[in-house]
Amino acid sequence: MLARRYIYRVIGLLVLLLFVAFFGVPLLWLLLAPTKTDYQLAHQAPLAFGSLGTFIHTFNRVINYQGGLMLTWLKNSAIYSGGGTALALLAAIPAGYGLALTQFIGRRTLLAVTLVVMIMPATALVMPLFLEASAVNLVGTAWAVILPFAFFPFGVYLAYIYFSSTIPKDLLAAARIDGAGEWGVFLHVALPLARPIVALVAFFAFVGDWTNYYLPFVMTYTNSEYPVTVGLQILIGSAPIFSPTASGYAGSEIYRPDLAMATLIGALPILIIFLFAQRTLVKGMLAGATKG
């Protein structure tokens, strides 16, 4: 029995190590690639470290590419994601509260529709959204990206689960007896208690908006309008296959270390938000795990 348990533990450890290697090695390569020139990246060991000076030089090349185009893409991503997240919160949190704690005609149907839309591929909705935005002349503007980002059925479902399983209904009933209307109950009683789920919905909405590629690609036309996801694809399409010089830098062209650095810069805001908000996110994920 002990031998069998030991074998199971060894197998489990090997499986975990396999997953760590599968996901961790590419991330490690991504971190090390900007420390080397393109020539070194092609001729040295994949996980070899280059130099800190090369890392800084690569960072400066990416930031200053075509007059700071990377900063423009980051700014656009912040505008699109921040605006979409704010609108998603304004829509999803009250909707989840209404579905969970109020009774109205069509409530069950609306909840079922929310669940169905939640599992639909987001790309399936891009073409109808493009036609709608085109009909009202929004294509090529920030609103063409921000307004669709406000549609976040997963956030509605998260809020519904939280309000239906965590908020004490007796507390809400006491507020109604004291004369508070439904909006007053929501704003002054339910919403202050829902800060963990608000943070969780905001995080998922922001990450989904920041990493969205297809919708901004369809709705925007020029470099000055692209977010960082579309900008990275532009860089990949314009990069040469390899550097023709041993120094790794020929003119102002973008090479593989620059692409790795641009990817790291694009992912940095998400990492920073997660590191600072992880305690609140954990509370939000566990908020609906227990009743009361």
Q: What number of CA atoms fall less than 13 Å from residue 265's CA on the CB side? A: 29
Residue 179, phi-psi category: left (phi > 0), alpha (psi -120 to 50), beta (remainder): left
Residue 169, phi-psi category: left (phi > 0), alpha (psi -120 to 50), beta (remainder): alpha
> What are the boundaries of each domain within the chain?
54-292
Looking at residue 79, what is its pLDDT? 95
Structure tokens at 86: 């704010």
pLDDT tens string, the chain, 292 residues long: the values are 667 777 878 888 888 889 888 888 888 998 999 998 888 888 888 888 888 989 999 999 899 888 889 999 999 999 999 999 999 999 999 999 888 888 888 888 888 888 888 888 888 888 889 999 999 999 989 999 999 999 899 999 999 988 888 877 777 788 787 777 778 888 888 888 888 889 889 999 999 999 999 999 999 988 889 999 999 888 887 766 555 555 555 556 778 888 999 999 999 998 888 887 777 666 655 555 544 4
Looking at residue 221, what is its pLDDT? 87
Residue whose pair of structure tokens reads 């090479």 in the numeric block: 255
DSSP letter at 150?
T
Residue 3, phi-psi category: left (phi > 0), alpha (psi -120 to 50), beta (remainder): alpha
Contact 244, 10 (CB under 8 A): no
Looking at residue 70, what is its pLDDT? 92
Looking at residue 292, what is its pLDDT? 45
Contact 38, 256 (CB under 8 A): yes
Q: How many helices (H) and strands (E) does the chain have?
A: 15, 0
What dotted CATH number matches 54-292? 1.10.3720.10
* DSSP states along 215-284: HHHHH--STTT--HHHHHHHHHHHS-SS-SSTTS--TT---HHHHHHHHHHHHHHHHHHHHHHHHHHHHH
Contact 123, 56 (CB under 8 A): no
Max CA separation in the chain (angstroms): 78
